Amino acid sequence: MQVSVNPAKCQGHNRCARIAPDLFTTDDMGTAHVVGDGLVPAGRERVARLAADNCPEYAVSASDEGDSQ
Amino acid sequence: MTATEPRPPTRDWTTDFDILDPRYVEDPARIWDGLRQACPVAHTDRWGSTWLPVRYDDIAAIAHDVEHFSSRDIAVVSPGREFNPEASIPLEAPPITSDPPLHTWARRLLLPAFGPSAIETQTIVTRAVATELIDGFSGRGEVDVATEYAQHIPVRVIAQMIGVPVEDEATFLRWAVTILQEGFINIGKATDCVMELISYFAARGDERRAMPAADRPDDLITLLVEATDDDGAPLTDRHVIGSCFLLLLAGIDTTWSAIGSGLWHLASHPDDQQRLRDDPALMDTAVEEILRFYSPVTMARYVVDDVEVAGCPMKRGDKVLMNFPGGNRDPDMFERANEFVIDRAKNRHFAFGSGIHRCLGSNLARMELRVALETFLDRIPTFELSDESAVTWSAGQVRGPRRVPVRW
């Protein structure tokens, strides 16, 4: 699974980084970024999906496309 | 009709709603449910033409459409607007009352001071404030958590961040109540308070500018007096004072309302209180659910250009209420929307708004709410409402309990 943040949509609600601090971080302006390459470690898929499902701006996505790689 | 005159009660919520009607203040969720079935964007001509959307997606769409919906007037009721929709608001308070491009840099200036890492450092201050308050009543077996606890936490924390004496707390609370909570019923008193606030912050700004730069304390007043705009010019007095107005008042009754609502909920729902005591790891979802279920803040936008929303023709000069509390109860967005679910995992609430005006202080408010609840639960044994009939809720821009007597 892969997570990503759309910086054009992110408004700094900071929900993703609170739910999954190992997957997301925020900069001084509060904008969220993925940690590292955004690849979700095994066992953290549910938390990654929750980060996406709690974003009021629909800026966070968690997709399964990276699984087969 | 003005807000100060007695008003006939609302008969039809779709065409003549009144957010100051006692039934709306008492239980707005029932009215939103009815509107979602009948007419998801209600209208009223009380205090000038005003719209009330109740669906999450409609509210989010309006929040993101800054071309049609301006923040020049964010008050849910603007006295005098029924006579002149262009009536000016008493004070500009950048960035909350600004539109791009001014909004963009005025907000960027303040964002770092309210970012997650900066706010983390305020946790110790907040816990100390909460602990000191509890020390004052813990031996008594009873307290009004609204007036003796919740009310004092945000004002003391923000006073320290801005760089004004905590000893002036009573003045700040009086301004917040008179301007924000009672402004629409007593315009004269509110205007007096705004003038007082302008003189107060003009003096603080002058003091700061008169100091050698190296001696200036590291706080928000210093940040504002040293800041420059995009052209390298210092901020105008009007901007500095307006931003101080926003920074001081925006977080006071909003966060006090959220803390009060959270403690009211725990006092009146012993099962939730016990679950949170047994499993403190629930605090994160509990805080977000308090923000969703008891969202304190309704904002407004001013229509700058005719536009249609969900089939409703909004005209230039109309006002739209940003009903974030109502959107947070939309069953199309939330399962069991009218139930408080303390471990709700999927919670895309927009209690702090949506789009470019996302509450600047959201990290601070969330931290204060969490620390206030944690410290209270830690120091006070199982508590309950001591007089349910004494609990009153505020009306208008900010909804929260103003008296919550509890005992243990």
Statement: residue B181 has pLDDT above 90:
no
Tally the residues of chain A.
Answer: 69
Closest CA to B159 of B148, B146, B149, B173: B173
Could you give the CA distance from residue B81 to residue B88 in angstroms, rounded to a whole number? 9
pLDDT at position B4, please?
53
CB contacts under 8 A, A 35-54 vs B, are: 50, 53-54
Which ipTM score applies to this complex?
A: 0.95
Residues of chain B positioned with their CB less than 8 A from the CB of A50: 345-346
CA distance A42 to chain B (A): 20
Residues of chain A positioned with their CB less than 8 A from the CB of B288: 15, 54
Q: How confident is the model at residue B84 (pLDDT cuts 50, 70, 90)?
A: confident
Q: Which of B328, B352, B359 to mutate to test the interface with A (most CBs of A within 10 A)?
A: B352
Buried b (16+ CB within 10 A) or exposed e, B108-120: ebbbebbbbebbe
Statement: residue B368 has pLDDT above 70:
yes
Q: Is A14 touching B (CB cutoff 8 A)?
A: yes
Q: Is B213 touching A (CB cutoff 8 A)?
A: no
Residue type, B271: D
Statement: residue B190 has pLDDT above 80:
yes
Could you give the CA distance from residue B392 to residue B385 in angstroms, rounded to a whole number? 13
Q: Which of A54, A58, A61 to mutate to test the interface with B (most CBs of B within 10 A)?
A: A54
The per-residue pLDDT of chain B, averaged, comes to 94
pLDDT for B88-104, tens place per residue?
555 789 999 999 999 99
Percent of chain B with pLDDT strictly greater than 90: 87
B145-170 mean pLDDT: 97
Statement: residue B262 has pLDDT above 50:
yes
Residue B111 and residue A57: Cβ atoms within 8 Å?
Answer: no
pLDDT at position A69, please?
42
Residue B349 and residue A14: Cβ atoms within 8 Å?
Answer: no
Tally the residues of chain B.
Answer: 408
Q: Which of A9, A24, A28, A61 to mutate to test the interface with B (most CBs of B within 10 A)?
A: A28
Q: Is B108 touching A (CB cutoff 8 A)?
A: yes
Could you give the CA distance from residue B407 to residue B295 in angstroms, rounded to a whole number? 25
| Predicted model pTM | 0.96
Q: Is B115 touching A (CB cutoff 8 A)?
A: yes
Q: Is B295 touching A (CB cutoff 8 A)?
A: no
The per-residue pLDDT of chain A, averaged, comes to 94
B265-279 mean pLDDT: 98
Chain A residue with minimal CA distance to B351? A56
Chain B residue with minimal CA distance to A16? B348
CA distance A49 to chain B (A): 9
Size of interface A-B (CB pairs under 8 A): 54
B286 contact partners, CB below 8 Å, separation of at least 6: B262, B272, B276, B342, B343, B373
pLDDT for B219-254, tens place per residue?
999 999 999 988 899 999 999 999 999 999 998 999
pLDDT in tens, chain A (69 residues): 999 999 999 999 999 999 999 999 999 999 999 999 999 999 999 999 999 999 999 999 999 875 544
Residues of chain A positioned with their CB less than 8 A from the CB of B346: 50, 53-54
Give CB contacts under 8 A, 24+ apart, made by B18-25. Answer: B18/B44, B18/B46, B19/B52, B19/B76, B19/B77, B19/B298, B19/B321, B19/B395, B19/B396, B20/B77, B20/B184, B20/B395, B20/B396, B24/B395, B25/B393, B25/B394, B25/B395, B25/B399
